[in-house]
Amino acid sequence: MLTKMIEPERVILTLAGLLLAAAGGQIHADPPTGFPYQFPDQKPDLPLSAAMERNYTAYPAPRPENNELFTQFKYTRLKGFDYNGHDGTISRRDPSKIIAVDGKYYVWYTKRDTPTPPQGAGNSTDVIPSADWDLADIWYATSEDGFVWKEQGVAVPRPPKPNVGWRSVTTTDILVWKGKYYLYYQGFMEASGTRGDDCPVSVSWADSPDGPWHPTHKIVIPNGPPGQWDQYSIHDPYPLVHNGKIYLYYKSDSNGDPYIRMHGLAIADDPLGPFTKHPLNPVVNSGHETTLFPFKKGVAALVIRDGNEHNTVQYAEDWVNFEIKSIVELMPNAGGPFIKDAFTDTDDGRGITWGLSHFTNATGNWKKNHAILARFDCDLSRDVDDPSM
């Protein structure tokens, strides 16, 4: 009992400390030579461990709070969307990026409204969905403030068989180019899950964000040739404008089961194509749904969920060669940010502060499998004082 209360080593050290303090006012006779308590913003002139070396060389700033591509994410429930009591028959997911037109925000997304929740590929029929994004159409909603949304109706319905997307049109994203609007989306020709999540990308265009939308019924980003990483699926098309061209990033899977998900880039002079896939594809070795935004001269990417480099924010000054800039947590799934300069061909990208994302399996009961849209807020903006960001 006594030995627990009085530890002899402590007594001796404390006494030694008191004696030193009385003699010279400090415990160390010589100045300390180890890593300092006052954390240096510049790499100190000291021998450094591999971890501390990396802390000064691999990230924009050695402290996360001073790193402009570090953020935390905050989520808010949206008002205005009905989910049928969350019984799994209505799902909204994979929001596009958000654009502002005439003082209103617009978003497009996958909406499924089916008699039952998804039942798996084996049980799916013409009306029973296999997956959450099966038998879906592309809908849109508008908002004045980004929190309260009004669903406006269908933008791109799935076309009659055998057109591309007859089984489901999903996971859309918007491009504004020379006064016209383009929606790119996954066009399923069979129920997702039958072989995999296989599909190419098609596009519809309109003169106004309210439509009417004109389907091209064409495959604009085709699957890769047999044996290549993107031979089965082109997912999450995500167009931005750079160098006077359309830079469309997309996700695909390689290596069978389990999938390795990666991202590629396809470039075009015209929104309807032809798109040329970049010879260095895949350009991002990880990630799931695709979220990017112009930042300074380059482009930043939210790399979520899958792969060695998931949970990172990455940056490519040349829009092709990405590097990890920060490690973050609770990233938005399928984030569709409001980006002021997505289509302005900027070389001084301002970043993002909010957008919509989705949460899946919102009831915690997979038999009621569906997704809901939510708002995310973050601090990846260079315009901290601009309330419209």
Selection from 374, 264, 360 nearest residue 319 by Cα: 264
Count CB atoms within 10 A of the CB of residue 9.
7
Residues 178-217: x/- map of binding to ligand AAL (CB under 6 A)?
--------x----------x--------------------
173 binds ligand AAL (CB under 6 A): no
- Residue, CB closest to ligand AAL: 171
The alpha carbon of 383 is separated from its chain's Cα centroid by a whole number of angstroms, namely 21
CB 347 within 8 A of CB 370: no
**Of 329, 289, 322, 321, whose CA–CA distance to 306 is shortest?**
289
Pick the closer one to ligand AAL by CB: 235 or 242.
235
- Is 334 within 8 Å of 325 (Cβ atoms)? no
Closer by beta carbon to ligand AAL, 235 or else 350: 235
For residue 50, report the phi and psi dihedrals to the nearest 5 degrees.
-60, -40
Nearest-approach distance from CB 307 to ligand AAL, in angstroms: 13
User: Toward ligand AAL, which CB reaches closer, 68 or 236?
Assistant: 236
Q: Which of residues 11-70 bind ligand AAL (CB under 6 A)?
A: none
Which lies closer to ligand AAL via its Cβ, residue 55 or residue 360? 360
Pairing type for strands 291-296 and 298-303 reads: antiparallel
Q: Phi, psi (5° rounding) for residue 323? A: -130, 150
Q: Which is nearer to ligand AAL, 137 or 236 (CB)?
A: 236
Assess 253 for contact with ligand AAL (CB under 6 A).
no
List residues bridging with 113 in a β-sheet: 90
Shorter beta-carbon distance to ligand AAL: residue 94 or 230:
94
Binding mask 119-158 for ligand AAL (x = CB under 6 A): --------------x-------------------------
Whose CA is closest to 363, among 111, 81, 89, 73?
89
Applying CB under 6 A, the site for ligand AAL has a residue count of: 12
For 382, the enclosing helix (H) or strand (E) is none
Closest CB to ligand AAL among residues 95, 298: 95
The separation between the first and the last C-alpha atoms of the chain, rounded to the nearest angstrom, is 63
Is 285 within 8 Å of 271 (Cβ atoms)?
A: no
> In this chain, which of 92, 167, 235, 368 binds ligand AAL, going by CB under 6 A?
235
- Interacting residues with ligand AAL (CB under 6 A): 94, 133, 170-171, 186, 197, 235-236, 251, 288-289, 334
